[in-house]
Amino acid sequence: MIVLPRGIKIYLPRDYSFALMARLYPKVDAFKVLEKAQGIYRIHSAVGFITGLVYFLLQLPPLQIAVWTFCVTFAFYLLRLFGIFFIPGQVVIPTIYSRFTGFGLITIIIFAVGLWRVGIIGTIAYIVARLVVEGLTMLIDRKAGANFGVNMGMEPAFAQAGAMYLAPAKDFINAYKLYAVRFGVPVDVEVSDEELRKENWIHVWDDLVRKWPQVALRFPKDDDGELGK
């Protein structure tokens, strides 16, 4: 298992993940790859937050707020789901956004601006639309995560049980691919037995421990790199 900086857990073997990141190191360290994966995971949430503020400031009617919030947020989720990244800031902005999640700040801002500009009805319209999107995306992520696990060789029952931890695995893979294209390293995510040898990736892990000990501490202890550990 690997863990993203804000605590999102992904059922990918540590040796496999760090073997991929070793291809990028030292041009890109592990933290940057993990944080980019986190940003990709948060794309639709960031878009929902930013566009919601725009709708509030424009004082759109409640129905328009709900419709636009659902359509735009879900559209960006689909871009993330299918690994389509072509819009300027599509990954960078959510990566920055992800640094502020988990503290309640995003919720406070949404409620404060919403109540100020469009009142309780407009704010509720936004919240309901976001909840519908989140429910829908969770269902899709669960299915996608289970399929990913089966493709990785897991038993279907285990893949289904851990589906929500497998769903963000594609975000990590896409983060790696974006950096791989940028720096001209292999985009293929198949790793050789030689790359999986601990001595060939442990320096990337040690660098993460040294620079970001609070992130490294989130990783499970005694992880031997087996899928699902």
Reduced to 3 states, what is the DSSP secondary structure of residue 162?
A: coil
208 within domain boundaries: yes
Q: Which amino acid is at 200?
A: N
User: One digit per residue, pLDDT tens: the chain, 229 residues?
Assistant: 999 999 999 999 999 999 999 999 999 999 999 999 999 999 999 999 999 999 999 999 999 999 999 999 999 999 999 999 999 999 999 999 999 998 899 999 999 999 999 999 999 999 999 999 999 999 999 988 888 887 777 778 777 777 788 889 999 999 999 999 999 999 999 999 999 999 999 999 999 999 999 999 999 875 444 433 3
Burial 43-81 (b: 16+ CB within 10 A, else e): bbbbbbbebbbebbeeebebeebbebbbebbbebbebbb
In this structure, are residues 207 and 30 in contact, taking their beta carbons and an 8 Å threshold?
yes
210 within domain boundaries: yes
Max Cα separation, the chain?
A: 60
34 within domain boundaries: yes
Residue 54 structural domain: 2-216
120 within domain boundaries: yes
| pLDDT at res. 222 | 57
135 within domain boundaries: yes
| Radius of gyration for the chain, computed over Cα atoms and rounded to the nearest angstrom | 19
225 within domain boundaries: no
111 within domain boundaries: yes
Exposed (0-12), middle (13-18) or buried (19+): which is 111, by Cβ within 10 Å? middle
| Domains: count for the chain | 1
Whole-angstrom Cα distance, residue 29 to residue 105? 28
| pLDDT at res. 227 | 35
Whole-angstrom Cα distance, residue 131 to residue 111? 15
Q: What are the backbone angles phi and psi of residue 55, rounded to the nearest 5°?
A: -60, -40
117 within domain boundaries: yes
Show Cβ contacts of residue 72 under 8 Å, excluding neighbours closer than 6 positions. Answer: 47, 48, 51
Query: What is the full DSSP assignment across 63-96?
Result: HHHHHHHHHHHHHHHHHHHTT---STTTTHHHHH
Q: What residues form DSSP beta bridges with 9?
A: 3
